[in-house]
Every structure is written in structure tokens, then in C-alpha cells.
Amino acid sequence: MSEDYRNLLRPNALPSVWCPGCGNGVVVKALIQAVSDLGWNKDDVMVVGGIGCSGRTPFILDFNTMHTLHGRALAFAAGIKMANPRLKVITVSGDGDTSAIGGNHFIHACRRNIDITAIVFNNGIYGQTGGQLAPTTPVGRRTITTMQGSTEPTFDLAQLALGAGAGFVARSTSFDFNELKGFMHKALLYHGFSVIEVMTACPTYFGRMNDMREPSDMLHYLRDTTEPVGEHAVEAIRESHKLLPTGIFREEARPEYVDAYRERVVRASGGMK
Ligand code: SF4
């Protein structure tokens, strides 16, 4: 018998504004199932969103939620975590939000290893604003601003997170729900900054601009352009893969930022907690 997750959703915010066939619903389903499986009280969970299609996620989830500014979800989330370390803090942001306007927040959250799970919805395009080129658009792919195909090198967000020092880095797709949910489960339990890049489907803009008119075409695209290298793919991302590798690329214990900060506060106050 399937579980009932309606207590984690806001009925008055449904149906969502997302287009039919959008991959965002798959990502959100994996998130609520992972949280539910962990048995977390929803009042202990905080979800912070940026701007963009994925930024609508906080509207439909019945956790503590916040809809913030473009590229600033991690800045708000860091403040929330510092003020109330008891909360399980999760950010939901798009690829443009994370790698363009919010790029600095992203790399410094990785560097600090602050205990937040960052879910990055990577559809390879700016969806909500009409399908413009993003730093993550694959080379050669058409967008509304690159009608002859993008000439810019593609930002690899998982590589960026590894280089910036995040303790947990994984990539999955909205095609492979079971893999995605399993990675979310691990990321949520990781004590430190955990990043899950989710390659997801935007049939409305990316798909239509690139001869994938049906949502199922985009699912096949995600299947055919990625290569699962598994849960133990640590650093395999650096090896040569013809397709985009998905897997857990790093999962290592590192000092967590809020712990280290509070330890210094206690020390400075003469040991009083
Ligand atoms: Fe999803 Fe694309 Fe529609 Fe945005 S524009 S809701 S990413 S299909």
C-alpha cells in the first residue's frame, strides 16, 4: 500500500503552477518521501527557496518555508541554521539561481561546510523567465537567446561543489526516481553541506527548443545523456565519461561550520553555554 504524504503538502497551494511533464514534481516527491522515511517531524524541517520555477517549491510544502530572493536562498538558509541549529535546513534552487546570481553564496556554503542540504534543480535553462541561456545550458543546445545553439562552455555544478569543498556531493536525474530518493536520504543525514544536483526536465522551454516536444522525450533525453556510476563513485567524476556521470562523488566527514562557530562562542564566554 502506498504511503499518504498529503500531510506534508498544502492543499490550498495545489495544483502547482508547474507545466505538465515538468520534472520538478518528481524532485519534490523524492524529497517528501525521503523526509517521511526519516521520520522527521515536519515542524523541524525548514525549506528555503530562491526565484525560478523550482523556487515555487516552498509554496506547496507544509514545512517551515521561506520564498526568498534570486540567488539568495543559501544566505537566508545559513542565517536560519546559525540561529536555530536544531532545524533541518534544505534549500531548493534552480541552476541559474545557484550558478549565476547566487554563485558566490554557493561556493562559500561549500567551503564552510555548513549543515544545509542544497537541492539544485538543473534543467539547463532559465525556465520561469521564458527559456534563456543559463550557465548550465549544454553546448550546442538552443535557447530563446541562442537560437543557433549555445557556444558557451557548460558549468558542471557537481564539479564546482567538489572544488569548493562541499563534504557531500551527488548528482541524479528526475528520470531515475529511486536513485534520486536514495541520494536525498543520504544527503539529508549528512552533517555538513550536502549538494544534490538533479538533472531535470523542462519540456516547455528546453524540450520545445531542442526538438523534444513531448515530456517523455525529455525523460528519454535524461536517460540517454547520463551514466549512473553509483553510490561509490567518489571522485569518479574526474574520470573520462562519454555521458554525464550520476552518483555520489564525495561523502566524507569534515568539520561543520555551526559546530565550530558555537565552540568558539563558548570558549570566548569562558565555557558558559
Ligand atoms: Fe517546469 Fe520548464 Fe514549466 Fe518551469 S517552464 S514549470 S521548469 S516545464
pLDDT tens column, 37-73: 999 999 999 999 999 999 999 999 999 999 999 999 9
- Cβ of 126 closer than 6 Å to ligand 1, yes or no, is no
Q: Following DSSP, what letter does each residue of 141-160 receive, concatenated?
A: --BTTBTT---SPPP-HHHH
* pLDDT per residue as tens digits for the range 203-223: 999 999 999 989 999 999 999
Candidates 51, 60, 128: which one to mutate for ligand 1, based on the most atoms within 8 Å of Cβ? 128
The pLDDT of residue 241 is above 70: no
Q: Is 190 in the pocket of ligand 1 (CB under 6 A)?
A: no
- What pLDDT shows up at residue 242? 77
The average confidence (pLDDT) of the chain is: 93
Cα 233 to ligand 1 centre (Å): 30
Ligand 1: does its nearest atom lie under 6 Å from the Cβ of 24? yes
Average pLDDT on 124-148 reads: 94
Q: Read off φ and ψ for residue 150, nearest 5 degrees.
A: -70, 140
1 has pLDDT over 50: no
Q: Which tens digits make up the pLDDT trace of 146-173?
A: 999 999 999 999 999 999 999 999 999 9
User: 136, 141, 165: which is closest to 151 by C-alpha?
Assistant: 141
> Using a 6 Å cutoff on CB, does residue 53 contact ligand 1?
yes
Distance between CA 191 and CA 255 in Å, rounded? 9
Q: Which atom of ligand 1 is nearest to 131's Cα?
A: 5
| Ligand 1 proximity of 205 Cβ (cutoff 6 Å) | yes
Answer yes or no: is the C-beta of 55 below 6 A from any ligand 1 atom: no
The pLDDT of residue 213 is: 86
Percent helix, strand, coil in the chain, to 5, is 40, 20, 40
Measured CA to CA in angstroms, residue 109 lies from 75, 92, 96, 187, 251 at distances of 9, 14, 17, 15, 16
User: In testing the pocket of ligand 1, which one of 137, 204, 206 has its CB within 8 Å of the most ligand atoms?
Assistant: 204
- State if residue 63 touches ligand 1 by the CB under 6 angstroms criterion: no
Please report which residue ranges of the chain form alpha helices under DSSP H: 24-38, 57-60, 73-83, 95-96, 103-112, 157-164, 177-189, 208-209, 215-225, 257-268
In ligand 1, the atom with minimum distance to the C-alpha of 203 is: 8
